């Protein structure tokens, strides 16, 4: 559910960071845990600012000014499988080969096999528990296999194709090669959204273009980009390459990939944006194109268009379909409703259409505090519960002595719904009927949305009556899965299937069984997240911790390598007013601890004075 963004300006003398920052603010709803930007300036020099926190807090004016360069990528993070520690803030970076930065939205389902491959075959060190860093190193390893001093677009397409044969799960990715350009691609099933657009410039008689890729089209609309297109998914096909492109190591069987005479499987589409233009390649069309239907229910902005479907129109259709189900159930139960009230904000569109279809008054009964983040994506259950009443306040005059139909986009853990229902009763509602635009969520999501434990899902293993009792409602009404799919698919009939595993338990990528779900629940649990955060490399996003040598410096210094213990090279910081000397695991330093980033060795402009 993270948000990713890449921007390449044709004029390399104009800094891209201000626009990237604005774009990330438009994607803030997709992640509120951490954010980051890496830009590429003259001679391929990379500049970075990333930390835990909201976009408005991390990217101060001073920080943005230090992000030099006409292209860059950005990320807003919402943690799922990894910890909430700042060390996992994206984008990630590897210096070899060529200098690559990488941002990712989604979740992999074959992480253990990939980690074994990285260790036993590729010999690459993975520093965090983030599968985004893992994807980056797979991509880097594939590029490294070319053995070239300089690569071309053909090499990149091959590297992305190989990555798609190795990684299983959901991923929308944007990468930047220092001094080269930006690459965007998504998984073969197209589960997580990603698209790109262009903007004409005055250069070359108006023929030159700026390029943008982002998780949602709203970013392109606001920034004045046009011709939005979704990055297409794909399906496997065998092709043949020179034998130098494959490895003969028998350990390749770790990933169950056949390597014979240089043959391997390549899938999907990659989009490469450079100042010379845009290139895209797809081997064959998608076999099972299955975008995540929860994007339309809750995750995406209503003003976005994802895979040719207006999120706003899909929610209107959900309201119309839900109205029919509500009418059926209310008639069956002999219950009348006086007013329809939405849970702001994502259910407003559906609730309004539902009220119109049923001929009932629509009222705004809850006032929202917009300075409290989305409770669904808060990192722990205690924080979610604590913030519901801070976020919403019920207006008694819309509830007192009325049978109220409250409409929400979905009911996941039940934390928010339970508090909202109690709030309605506290201010005088006679009966509270809860209606959900989504079907009951009974299964975990393994593709990048934090629905980790089956036992945490309020509908798991419960009947509708038991769900209502657990929530404290007089009645709960859910949309049917058939109606939900029809509401979304009706706007783009070419999409034959959606990823609906949280409702059906059917996972489009396969290889998801109870053992995997048990494993996922363990590593994603709130308690595990808290513990994982204490074991990362550093205690603050401004401390410069090198591998085999820890450096602390002051000011906007450059990264330099110091001598570590046993002849190994540690990382220190050369600063204008403070000099750090790498001496094994200890570094003597004076002054503040702002300087080198603690995880990727890039100059980090976060909170520099």
Question: Which residues are known to be catalytic?
Answer: 2
Q: How far, in Å, CA of 61 to CA of 75, rounded?
A: 18
Q: H helices then E strands: how many in the chain?
A: 17, 29
- Parallel/antiparallel/unpaired status of strands 305-306 and 309-310: antiparallel
Region of 123 on the Ramachandran plot (φ > 0 left; ψ -120 to 50 alpha; else beta): left
Give the containing element (helix H, strand E) for 61. helix 61-65
Residues β-bridged to residue 35: 51, 76
Instruction: Say whether 436 sits in a helix, a strand or coil.
Output: strand
Distances (CA, A) of 566 to 123, 547, 549, 579: 20, 13, 11, 22
Longest dimension (CA), the chain: 80
Question: Helices 514-524 and 526-533 meet at what angle, rounded to 10?
Answer: 50
Question: Helices 311-333 and 348-358 meet at what angle, rounded to 10?
Answer: 50
Beta strands in 254-338 (DSSP E): 263-266, 269-274, 277-282, 305-306, 309-310
Q: How far, in Å, CA of 336 to CA of 430, rounded?
A: 11
Cβ distance 135 to 169 under 8 Å?
no
Torsion angle in degrees (nearest 10) through CA of 40, 42, 43, 49: -30
Torsion angle in degrees (nearest 10) through CA of 436, 437, 440, 442: -120
Cβ distance 479 to 322 under 8 Å?
yes
Q: How far, in Å, CA of 292 to CA of 497, rounded?
A: 9
Q: How far, in Å, CA of 326 to CA of 332, rounded?
A: 10
Q: How far, in Å, CA of 585 to CA of 545, rounded?
A: 10
Contacts of 383 (CB under 8 A, 6+ apart): none
């Amino acid at each position: 559910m993270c948000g990713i963004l890449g921007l390449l300006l044709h004029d390399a003398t104009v800094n891209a960071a201000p626009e990237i920052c604005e774009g990330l603010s438009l994607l803030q709803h997709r992640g509120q845990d951490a954010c980051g930007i890496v830009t590429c300036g003259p001679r391929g020099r990379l500049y970075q600012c990333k930390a835990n926190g909201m976009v408005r807090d991390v990217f101060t004016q001073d920080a943005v000014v230090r992000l030099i360069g006409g292209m860059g990528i950005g990320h807003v993070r919402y943690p799922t499988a990894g910890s909430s520690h700042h060390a996992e803030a994206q984008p990630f970076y590897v210096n070899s080969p060529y200098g690559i930065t990488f941002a990712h939205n989604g979740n992999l389902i074959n992480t253990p096999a990939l980690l074994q491959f990285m260790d036993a075959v590729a010999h690459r060190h993975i520093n965090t528990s983030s599968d985004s860093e893992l994807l980056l190193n797979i991509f880097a390893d594939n590029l490294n296999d070319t053995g070239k001093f300089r690569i071309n677009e053909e090499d990149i397409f091959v590297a992305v194709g190989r990555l798609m044969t190795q990684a299983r799960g959901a991923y929308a990715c944007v990468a930047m090669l220092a001094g080269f350009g930006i690459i965007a691609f998504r998984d073969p099933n197209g589960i997580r959204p990603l698209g790109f657009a262009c903007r004409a410039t005055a250069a070359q008689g108006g023929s030159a273009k700026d390029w943008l890729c982002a998780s949602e089209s709203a970013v392109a609309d606001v920034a004045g980009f046009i011709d939005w297109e979704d990055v297409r998914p794909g399906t496997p096909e065998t092709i043949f390459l020179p034998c130098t492109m494959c490895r003969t190591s028998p350990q390749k069987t770790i990933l169950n990939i056949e390597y014979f005479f240089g043959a391997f499987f390549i899938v999907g589409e990659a989009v490469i944006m450079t100042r010379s233009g845009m290139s895209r390649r797809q081997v064959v069309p998608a076999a099972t194109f299955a975008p995540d239907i929860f994007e339309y229910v809750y995750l995406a902005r209503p003003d976005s268009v994802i895979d040719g479907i207006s999120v706003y129109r899909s929610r209107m259709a959900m309201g119309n379909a839900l109205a029919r189900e509500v009418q059926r159930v209310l008639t069956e139960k002999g219950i009348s409703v006086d007013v329809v009230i939405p849970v702001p904000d994502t259910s407003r569109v559906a609730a309004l259409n539902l009220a119109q279809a049923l001929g009932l008054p629509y009222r705004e009964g809850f006032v929202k505090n917009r300075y409290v983040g989305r409770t669904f994506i808060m990192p722990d259950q205690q924080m979610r519960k604590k913030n519901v009443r801070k976020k919403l306040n019920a207006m008694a005059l819309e509830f007192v002595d009325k049978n109220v139909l409250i409409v929400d986009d979905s009911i996941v853990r039940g934390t928010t719904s339970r508090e909202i229902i109690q709030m309605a009763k506290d201010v005088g509602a006679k009966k509270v009927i809860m209606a959900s635009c989504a079907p009951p969520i009974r299964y975990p999501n393994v593709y990048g949305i934090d629905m980790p434990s089956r036992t945490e899902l309020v509908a798991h293993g419960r009947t509708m009556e038991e769900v209502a009792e657990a929530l404290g409602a007089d009645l709960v009404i859910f949309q049917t899965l058939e109606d939900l799919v029809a509401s979304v698919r009706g706007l783009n009939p070419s999409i034959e299937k959606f990823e609906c595993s949280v409702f059906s338990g059917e996972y489009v990528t396969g290889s998801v069984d109870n053992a995997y779900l048990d494993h996922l629940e363990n590593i994603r649990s709130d308690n595990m997240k808290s513990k994982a955060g204490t074991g990362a490399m550093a205690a603050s996003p401004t401390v410069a911790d090198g591998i085999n040598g820890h450096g602390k410096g002051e000011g906007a210094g450059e990264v330099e390598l110091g001598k570590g213990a046993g002849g190994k090279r540690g990382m220190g910081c050369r600063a204008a007013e403070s000099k750090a000397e790498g001496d094994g695991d200890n570094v003597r330093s004076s002054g503040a601890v702002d300087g080198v980033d603690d995880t990727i060795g890039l100059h980090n402009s976060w909170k520099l004075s």
